Structure 1
Amino acid sequence: MDTHENWLDPEDLEFARRRLPILYVNAVPTRVDDTGVVTAFGLLLRSTPEGEIHRELVAGRVMHHERVRDALKRHIEKDLGPHALPQIPASPLPFTVAEYFPTPGASAYHDPRQHAVALAFVIPVTGDCTPRQDALDLVWLPPSDAADDAVQKEMLGGHGLLLRQALAHLGYPPAG
């Protein structure tokens, strides 16, 4: 199914963003060892229009008539490349739900464009990853580095909190 036909043109999307919460997925890409233990977290390195460098998670909208599982696969492959080989369960369960608001401080999650509700997942990827063209790089960090306060400060809009929640979900202690 071509989901691009099932979405809004830019003007209608802006209209909807001003009036409705939009459903998103956030994915925390991971590498796992042979026993299934997470050994690294994948973070995209991007620059803002202002020239600042920051890290972010895989994220994107769920299209009309698109399954959450398909949206996860589409966004992981878009952000990490077609050979990322995400291991998405048949019935994925989010580790948290993040509610983004356009008003700063309304929650720990902020998106100046809209009110968005994001289902957040930890997704192992087993293939070769090539970050999308608008990303500067994809960095794989061991759990201890991913929990570091310096990494958290490089993440905007609540992505740092989502990363910390993913670490806690997987049993990793908070940074000391």
Structure 2
Amino acid sequence: MDYGTESSAGWLSREELRDARERLPILYVDAVPVRVDDVGEVQAVGLLLRATGDGELIRALVSGRVLYHERVRQALVRHLEKDLGPLALPRIPPSPQPFTVAEYFPIPGITPFHDPRQHAVSLAFVVPVEGECEPQQDALELTWVTPNEARDPRLLAEMQGGQGVLVQQALASLGM
């Protein structure tokens, strides 16, 4: 999940967001960036390296809130560009379809997904990217791993909030 804040039209103030999170599920998008070969077979999965507020390094997916009056496709593009850079060239279809819907709860154990701040519902997508990726914002690095490496329990353990489960679900949705 995107733990940062931005102050542009459509965003709530910190106080308004805190109040909304106490009363409403918040809509997010999660994106699993992939590199594909000429016939569409996934060759690599992109995982971000981020530092938490506590200084811990974690692996993460591209993720963030959907703005008021923003289409899901636009939110995907915005968050992919924010995290991977403007030259990532994501290939999002005109009508994107999520591979799953993840429900994040502030109480652990209800689902595999946990966000201590809120109840969030995230539409999760596999997104091929073709361009040059240069981590932006709070992303320190982007690591491309093979689909088999992406299943490594040690790597999945570096992911918080259940995002490792999303990686496994993404690969399963691709028949891998």
TM-based fold match above 0.5: yes
Aligned to 2:4: none
Aligned to 1:75: 79
The alignment covers a number of residue pairs equal to: 170
Shift of 1:138: 0.4
Gaps of 5+ in 1: none
For 2:153 and 2:12, the matched residues in 1 are separated by 38
Deviation above 6 Å: which 4+ runs of structure 1?
A: none
Gaps of 5+ in 2: 1-6
Q: 2:150 aligns with which of 142, 146, 166?
A: 146
Aligned sequence identity (%): 64
Asked if 1:98 corresponds to 2:102, the answer is yes
Shift of 1:110: 0.4
* Aligned amino acid, residue 8 of structure 1: L
For 1:49 and 1:16, the matched residues in 2 are separated by 22
For 1:100 and 1:21, the matched residues in 2 are separated by 9
Q: 146-155 or 129-138, which moves further after superposition?
A: 129-138
Shift of 1:105: 1.3
Partner-residue secondary structure (3-state), 2:165: helix
Asked if 1:5 corresponds to 2:12, the answer is no
Q: 48-57 or 153-162, which moves further after superposition?
A: 48-57
For residues 51-90 of structure 1, the aligned pairs below 5 Å read 51-90=55-94
Structure 1, residues 74-127: CA drift from partner, whole Å, max 9, x if none? Answer: 000000001100000000000000000011112110001100000000000000
Q: CA RMSD in A?
A: 1.1
For 1:47 and 1:169, the matched residues in 2 are separated by 29
For 2:50 and 2:61, the matched residues in 1 are separated by 10
For 1:96 and 1:135, the matched residues in 2 are separated by 24
* Aligned amino acid, residue 140 of structure 1: W
Structure-1-length-normalised TM-score: 0.94
